[in-house]
Structure 1
Amino acid sequence: MEISGEGLDDILIELYRRLLDQGARNKGSRGETIEMLGVALRIAKPRARLSRSENRGKPFSALGEFFWYLTQSNRLDFIEPYIPDYRKEAVDGVVPGGYGPRLFAMRNGIDQVDSVIRLLRYKPSSKRAVIQLFNAEDIALDYPADLGTPFHHPETPCTISLQFHLRDGSLHMSVNMRSNDAVLGLPHDVFCFSMLQEMMARRLGVELGEYLHYVGSMHFYDDRHETLLEYLDEGYQRTFEMPEMPKGDPFEHVDALVAAEGRVRLKERVVAGELLPEPYWADILRMMQVFWSSGDEARLDELKAELQEPAYRAYIEGRRGARLKEPSPREPVDARRKPE
């Protein structure tokens, strides 16, 4: 089954309808699901990566997850405030399936993002520009001979690979998923991977192409049924595209963004425009400030006035009544290697 649309909301509304109409029951790792096999999604405007829905508009947790990738770490203390459910997957304070190290710092020292950029510079028409996230060791475990014995399998990446196609001056991206939670996981995946796609396109000096998303098992869990119905009740949303990333190398801003996030989560008042003079990235930091200022009406009003992109202001309203627990200080992140 293939679904095409301009942006995330176009995809979600059609996908949810088809899951309800055509999905079949299957027992998932966290309970009963409604599932469809072999789903292909095509987004023509990857910058339309944020839902305008009150129900699915979750920019803060998506930004938190994307920042987590950029830290090249899989530590729980970074991501837990944004997505508390990750604590269920953590082992000794880390999330084994976290994507950051797999993207940028494999155990054998390979930076896959850097490798793909180098490959596409050398041979733009290449079909080998693939980043592998699901590895052989993720499934190479000894299972008990007695099928009745309880067995806990460590969480493994839902994403198998990311493939990049540089064609006619545009960078297209194909994401291959073994499994995808249509309600919780899919909006985050589209956001994070299309942000990486745009960063790599800017680094290569080319245009942003289409975003393609292939899923072996697309599903939603029974406890998210009402959430899905509420989204459908809102009806179609006007397509909203995030602003274009500025020309140049976005990876040059990563260290400043990650360092600033660390200061913001400890409630330090920083001026985004001073730390990140480029308005696009200053607004991204302001959105992180909004998250960490949840419930502080006066501070939220200040940040709302500072935002350069008017469309971001609508997401602030949902943070007015929110409350965050005091975050644990996270370990500082050292400077990272950037693609050359």
Structure 2
Amino acid sequence: MNIISGKNITDVFYQGLDLAINKWDFYTKDNIFELTPALIRVESPKERCLVIPYRNNNIIQTIAETLWVLGGRNDLEYLSKYLPRASSFSDDGETWRGAYGKRLKGWFGGVNQINDVMKVLRTDEYSARGVMILFDPSEDINLKYKDVPCNNWIQLSIRDNKLNMYVTVRANDLIWGFSGINFFEWTVLQEMVANWLGLEVGEYYHFAGFLQLYKRHYERANKMLEHRLENDVYSFSYIPHVNIDIREINFDLQMNQFFNIEKKFTYPYTANSLDILREIEGLESRFLIHCAKLMLSFILLKNKQFDEFMDVFSCIEEDHYKICAMYNYLRYLDEDCELYNILVEGIKKYNLPLYKKVTN
């Protein structure tokens, strides 16, 4: 058993990377380093933003996919705008058949597992039955599909007035899976449900049958360990945390309003950004407002509409998500670009090192 325990995502990611490269259990015929099994424990799940030299992660993709999951969606029309490789994992070119949100909110066509777990925990705070299933044995035990859920089982439990989360995964890509989306999306759900129940966020546990490092990430993984940070973005206590404040009572309405606005984030982008900003400000949730602005800024950056980008980005509250976005945006800009230098100045005050991009 490989046990990884740490304060936040940065801490456990570095530990997992070090183990996968230097103390792996198996090296497969497909050139994958495997830790099997692996248990990851995180003390502070709200510290979910990963800002690491050479990691090349895109926080906007992570935010967009997390909201797609919370909204119960499985379509690629929305997701592909932020995650271009999404279609590579689709069986029909239009959806992800194993999409977690669809299974959480509409299991067998109608069971909302999140709502049912809420009812259980409200009835008995010590219950061990707050379980949600993502793996369907009637369909998923086969080799014919590209997309079969890697994350299979989620449990929420209350102890000492804190909401803990336990996630079980059959196999997990350390780069694209665990640190790319899974830890982020599930801890957002954990925090949101904790708020609905009036609880503190407890600990997060992640069990993987196989925690994997793929060949495509070897060079980058070694670069990350070579340039390991002593401090991360959470070392600065004065940076505010944006609370997951989407209310339970009208959750679906708020998500639908968000998605209706997001439809206007297009390539090429032709809408008036100031008009869109006014629509975004009309959302009820501060968290959704924050996410929508960040996602719009990404679309504008990708479209090279730099003046409009600055109009939007300058009105976004500075927090861990925005700092992570700034760090990522540098990869899309030439170093002699004025906007590049503006973002560099924003990053420097957090003592985060700049680096040359590794493309793979």
TM-score by length of 1: 0.84
CA distance in 2, matches of 1:40, 1:321: 33
SS at 1:128 equivalent: coil
Structure 2 CA distance for partners of 1:238 and 1:140, relative to 1, 3 Å:
closer
**Conservation of the 8 A alpha-carbon contact between 1:300 and 1:316:** no
Partner of 1:16: 17
Q: Counterparts of 2:145 and 2:296 in 1: how far apart (Å)?
A: 36
One-letter amino acid matched to 1:62: T
Distance 1:248 1:110 in 2: 20
Bigger mean CA deviation after superposition, 264-273 or 207-216? 264-273
Please list, as runs of the form range in 1=range in 2, the aligned pairs for 1:227-306 lying within 5 A after superposition. Answer: 227-236=220-229, 237-240=231-234, 242-246=241-245, 248-249=247-248, 251=251, 253-265=254-266, 267=269, 268=271, 269=273, 270-271=276-277, 274-294=281-301, 295-306=304-315
2:73 counterpart residue number: 73
- Bigger drift between 294-303 and 13-22 goes to 294-303
**Distance in structure 1 (CA, Å) of the matches to 2:121 and 2:188:** 18
Q: Indicate yes or no: 2:207 matched with 1:214.
A: yes
Deviation at 1:72, TM superposition (A): 1.6
Distance across 2 between alignment mates of 1:79 and 1:183? 19
Distance 1:247 1:156, change over 3 A: closer
Map 1:27-42 to 2 at 5 A.
27=29, 31-42=30-41
Bigger drift between 83-92 and 275-284 goes to 275-284
For the residue of structure 2 that corresponds to 1:245, the secondary structure is coil
* Cα gap change, 1:320 to 1:238, in 2 (>3 Å): closer
Q: Cα 1:321–1:235, aligned 2, differ >3 Å: closer, same or farther?
A: closer
1:226 deviates by 1.0
Aligned with 2:156: secondary structure?
strand
For structure 1, list consecutive stretches of 5 or more residues without a partner in the other structure: 142-150, 324-340
Q: Is the 1:67–1:258 contact (alpha carbons within 8 Å) kept by the matching residues of 2? A: no
Equivalent position of 2:188 in the other structure: 195
In structure 1, what is the equivalent of residue 343 of structure 2? none
| Equivalent pair of 2:49/2:321 in contact (CA under 8 Å) | no
Deviation at 1:231, TM superposition (A): 1.8
Aligned equivalents of 2:246, 2:150: Cα separation in 1: 32
For residue 140 of structure 1, report the CA deviation from its aligned partner.
3.9
Identity, in percent, stands at: 23
The corresponding residue for 1:125 is 126
Q: Which amino acid aligns with 1:154?
A: K
What is the SS of the residue equivalent to 1:306?
Answer: coil
Deviates more, 1:223-232 or 1:313-322: 313-322
The code of the aligned residue for 1:159 comes to N
- Kept in 1, the 8 Å contact 2:91–2:147? The answer is no
Label 1:293 to 1:22 Cα distance change in 2 as closer, same or farther (>3 A): same
Partners of 1:213 and 1:317 in 2: CA distance: 27
| SS, match of residue 102 in structure 1 | helix
Q: 1:126 to 1:75 in 2, by over 3 A?
A: same
State the one-letter code of the partner of 1:233: E
Question: C-alpha separation between the residues in 2 aligned to 1:79 and 1:317?
Answer: 22
* CA deviation map 1:50-106 (0-9, x unaligned): 112243342111112112213322112221222222212223312111112101011
Q: Report what 1:136 is aligned to.
A: 137
Aligned counterparts of 1:259 and 1:247: Cα–Cα separation in 2: 16
Report how far residue 307 of structure 1 moved. 1.1
Q: Which residue, 200, 204, 219 being the options, matches 1:226?
A: 219
Aligned counterparts of 1:279 and 1:262: Cα–Cα separation in 2: 19
Secondary structure, aligned partner of 2:11: helix
2 CA distance for matches of 1:311 and 1:109?
36
8 A Cα contact 1:256 1:275, kept in partner: no
Change (3 A) 1:277 1:118: closer
Residue of structure 1 aligned with 2:171, choices 161, 166, 179: 179
TM-score normalised to the size of structure 2? Answer: 0.80
Q: Letter of the aligned partner of 1:59 in structure 2?
A: I
- Deviation of the 1:293 alpha carbon: 1.3
Does structure 1 retain, via aligned residues, the 8 Å contact 2:91–2:145? no
Give SS of 2:263's match.
Answer: helix
- Structure 1 pair 15/245, CA: closer, same or farther in 2 (3 Å)? same
Within 5 Å, which residues of 2 pair with 1:103-182?
A: 103-141=104-142, 152-182=144-174
The question of whether the paired residues in 1 share the 8 Å contact of 2:254 and 2:284 is answered with no
* Whole-angstrom distance in 2 between the partners of 1:153 and 1:274: 41
CA-based RMSD: 2.2
2:51 touches 2:327 (CA, 8 Å); kept in 1?
no
Write the distance in 1 (CA, Å) between the matches of 2:97 and 2:78: 14
One-letter code aligned to 1:63: I
